[in-house]
Structure 1
Amino acid sequence: MVSSAPSAGKPGRYERSSNGLVGAMVILVLVILAFVGFRALFRGNQDDPVPTVAYRGAVTQARQDGALAPAPEPMPSGWRATSVRYQAGKRATWHLGLLTGGGGYVGIEEAHARATKLVDAYLGSGSTQGRARQLAGRTWQTWRDGSAYALTWTGGGRTVFVGGKAGEKAVVELVGVLGFGGTG
């Protein structure tokens, strides 16, 4: 007679079923969802897609080299610098990119170029010139391309372009707090 019970020396055989497989998968999915939910709720510093940059060192260097290096003095509340470039030389160039408190972009460019060249490069060739405005002791030329606004000032063979999609109010606010080095 053959016995159906496992012998003491042999392990029992596990019965596999589709119900057992589905149950294991459901438990695994629930564990993964719990982990993802936990990470989402308790994750600390979320990465900012646009990092803040330190720009004061570049301002100092550019001004020591004789560039105007226009920069906010002081930075408007809630604004932050997101990009800075200074290319030294006889025809030095300066760039400072800023995000407003509301997330709009305003950029400052300085170059040995005509205002129309900078406007075409940063606003587009379809931009229209508006009236001149007196701001912060300088006469600024206004420009619009429909979705962006800019002011340009030319002095000493250099042109300063301040513009972006943050709107006229933000551009004017920035021009009001710009400090200039060099001979500006």
Structure 2
Amino acid sequence: MAAADDRTTGEATRPSAGRRGLASVRNMVVSLVVICGGAFALVALNPGDQPEGSTPTVSYDVEAATAARAAPYELLVPEGLSSDWRATSVRYQPAGDFGATWRLGFLDPDEEYAALAQADGAPDDFIEEITQGATDTGETASVGGRDWARYEGDKYDALVLRDADVTTVVLGTAPLDRLTHFATALTPEPVQG
């Protein structure tokens, strides 16, 4: 008769305290799984935690063409490197501490860094900054019939060519033969338009 009385009065029967406790634990576990899953997804998608060799490849054709029109010197780009050389960074700065600056970074086939840097500002300051303190060895490397000064440093080694209107530096963690190969591939970017 008590059940009939509950229906007629409109009062719902409440679950016992034990059942409410189980529902709370279940809801807490579900919430914890959702939160941990979201946190795991954020960590997995974090670019800082990507495995070695995941440096993105960039295209530099448009930037090189644009920079060649703006640069007050003959802008160089590599031609004929094999496809396992990957461009990873490109930047042209029309005016800065070292004048107009062109930078193009690559990873060689062994994932070692090799880069080109050109500027028309004070050569000594530019070389010091771009090579992060590498020093002139007094030796040269012949590239394309011209003698490039060899620099060695704790972080980067470099080949440096000083012309009247521009200083060109090929630098990196790549071995000297790779830096020389990279320097040999440099050709003037055609100025269009």
Q: TM-score, normalised by structure 2?
A: 0.68
Q: Matched residues in 2 for 1:141 and 1:72: separation?
A: 19
Q: Matched residues in 2 for 1:136 and 1:30: separation?
A: 63
One of 54, 58, 65 as aligned partner of 2:63: 58
Which secondary structure does the structure 2 equivalent of 1:11 belong to?
A: coil
One of 120, 123, 131 as aligned partner of 2:131: 123
Which secondary structure does the structure 2 equivalent of 1:21 belong to?
A: helix
Does the 8 Å CA contact 1:75/1:177 hold for their aligned counterparts? yes
One of 168, 173, 179 as aligned partner of 1:160: 168
- Give structure 1 stretches of 5+ with no counterpart: none
Does the 8 Å CA contact 1:83/1:98 hold for their aligned counterparts? no
- Give structure 2 stretches of 5+ with no counterpart: none
**What's the counterpart of residue 85 of structure 1?**
92
**Percent identity between the two aligned chains:** 21
**What's the counterpart of residue 21 of structure 1?**
24
Aligned residues: 175
**What's the counterpart of residue 68 of structure 1?**
74
How far off is 1:101 after superposition?
Answer: 4.4
How far off is 1:87 after superposition?
Answer: 1.4
Deviates more, 1:128-137 or 1:162-171: 162-171
Q: Matched residues in 2 for 1:156 and 1:141: separation?
A: 15
Deviations 1:78-136 (A, max 9, x none): 31242221417xx63322223334443332211224543222112234x2212101023
Is 1:180 equivalent to 2:185 in the alignment? no
Is 1:7 equivalent to 2:10 in the alignment? no
Q: TM-score, normalised by structure 1?
A: 0.71
RMSD: 3.7
Q: Matched residues in 2 for 1:40 and 1:86: separation?
A: 34
* Letter matched to residue 177 of structure 1: A
Q: Matched residues in 2 for 1:81 and 1:35: separation?
A: 31
Which of the pair is proportionally richer in helix? 2
Does the 8 Å CA contact 1:69/1:181 hold for their aligned counterparts? yes
